[in-house]
Amino acid sequence: MNFTKSNIFQQKNRPGGEHFSAWFLLFLAVIIILGACTNSGKRSKDDRQLGRIYDKTLFLSDMDGMLPQGITKEDSTLIINTYVRYWMREMALLREAEQNIPKDLNLEKLVADYRSSLIKNNYGTLVMNRLLDSTVTTVQLQEFYEKNKEQYQLETPILRCRFIKAPRNAPNSDKAQDWWNSNKVEDFAELSRWCSQQATVSYLQDSTWYHVDDIAAFMPQGTLTVDNVENRRDFIQRDDNFVYYFKLLELVRKKEIAPLSYIENQARKVILHKRKTELLEELKDKLYQEAIRKKNLEVYE
């Protein structure tokens, strides 16, 4: 088997080379990651050797599950060759690392600690899935916000707004301008439908917060900035190609405290993380007390 670069990557130029596309490169990356640990169990007599480096050999059975059903012979060869090259590089590094293990490195302890960590984390996940209350109420969010809001001082202004960028010659542009200026629910619904068909960009969710620069990026330079946003609260502007509709609903300036609606997702994560920590500590204490009660615990002086 030839492992040269030309052999491995020439498939992209063959007929049907569309197989060698972005999804295929992603698949190669996935099988390399998943195949980092190879099968070292019993092998059949006809198990095919794919490569060897020093005292380590890679077999075809080590790639079980890495080759999708229905794959072409050419693509199968490409995946195998790519993985063999990856595996040899990893094994070369492993051999060098094994030959340079520090004398004071307690490898057995590291493995035992890692194993314990995996077991505890897995059990912790099971406990969380079974016992953790993942509901965070509005009252709990508000209480958290009042206690911690000083930590959420803004480094850049944020705003709630409505914004549309649409081609200047888009059909029904005149009606869109009337709908934009109307306060009627039915007109807003018409505007939303028009945006879904004609607008290049449209932000009509009144509850969503944006950085000023996020909106300004869709307009000609200097149209909307941190410095002029307060004076440009409601406008329609045209250039040669587009029409820009902007309406400021709320602005929170730099150094001011972010509103709860802006940090709600982050606050929810913090609250749940605290619950998880407390639940695990309660579990540890319960198991500790149980060991004492059953006299399965001793402290040696």
Q: 232 and 88, same structural domain?
A: no
What's the CATH code of the domain at 165? 3.10.50
The per-residue pLDDT for 19 is 45
The per-residue pLDDT for 40 is 52
The per-residue pLDDT for 301 is 74
**Residue 240, domain member (yes or no):** yes
Q: 205 and 65, same structural domain?
A: no
Neighbours of 163 (CB within 10 A): 22
Query: CA torsion angle for 148, 153, 157, 160 (degrees, to 10)?
Result: 10
Q: Which phi and psi angles does 58 have, rounded to 5°? A: -105, 130
Rounded Cα distance between 53 and 84, Å, is 10
Tens of pLDDT along 158-206?
Answer: 999 999 999 999 999 999 999 999 999 999 999 999 999 999 999 999 9
Contact 182, 188 (CB under 8 A): yes
Number of domains in the chain: 3
Rounded Cα distance between 51 and 74, Å, is 19
Q: 145 and 159, same structural domain?
A: no
The per-residue pLDDT for 66 is 79
* Ranges of the chain with pLDDT below 70: 1-42
**Residue 107, domain member (yes or no):** no
- DSSP code, position 210: E
Q: 277 and 204, same structural domain?
A: no
Rounded Cα distance between 107 and 111, Å, is 6
Tens of pLDDT along 95-117?
Answer: 898 888 888 888 889 899 999 99
**Residue 126, domain member (yes or no):** no
Rounded Cα distance between 179 and 202, Å, is 14
The per-residue pLDDT for 31 is 56
Percent of residues in the chain assigned helix, strand, coil, to nearest 5: 55, 15, 35
Q: 243 and 285, same structural domain?
A: no
In DSSP notation, 45-69 reads TTPPEEEEETTEEEEGGGGTTTS-T
Identify any residues that bridge with 203 across adjacent strands, giving them in sequence order: 163
The per-residue pLDDT for 43 is 73
**Residue 114, domain member (yes or no):** no
pTM of the model: 0.63
Q: 23 and 85, same structural domain?
A: yes
Q: 72 and 200, same structural domain?
A: no
**Residue 110, domain member (yes or no):** no
The token pair at 269 is 């994560």
**Residue 104, domain member (yes or no):** no
Q: 274 and 248, same structural domain?
A: no
Q: 283 and 145, same structural domain?
A: yes
Work out the widest C-alpha separation in the chain, in whole angstroms.
87
**Residue 123, domain member (yes or no):** no
Q: 193 and 66, same structural domain?
A: no
Q: 279 and 233, same structural domain?
A: no
Rounded Cα distance between 266 and 270, Å, is 6
**86: domain range?**
5-99
Signed CA dihedral, 201, 204, 208, 209: sign only: positive
The per-residue pLDDT for 124 is 87
Q: Is 85 helix (H, G, I), strand (E, B) or coil?
A: helix
**Residue 133, domain member (yes or no):** no
Q: 20 and 59, same structural domain?
A: yes
79 Cβ contact list (under 8 Å, min separation 6): 27, 28, 31, 66, 67, 71
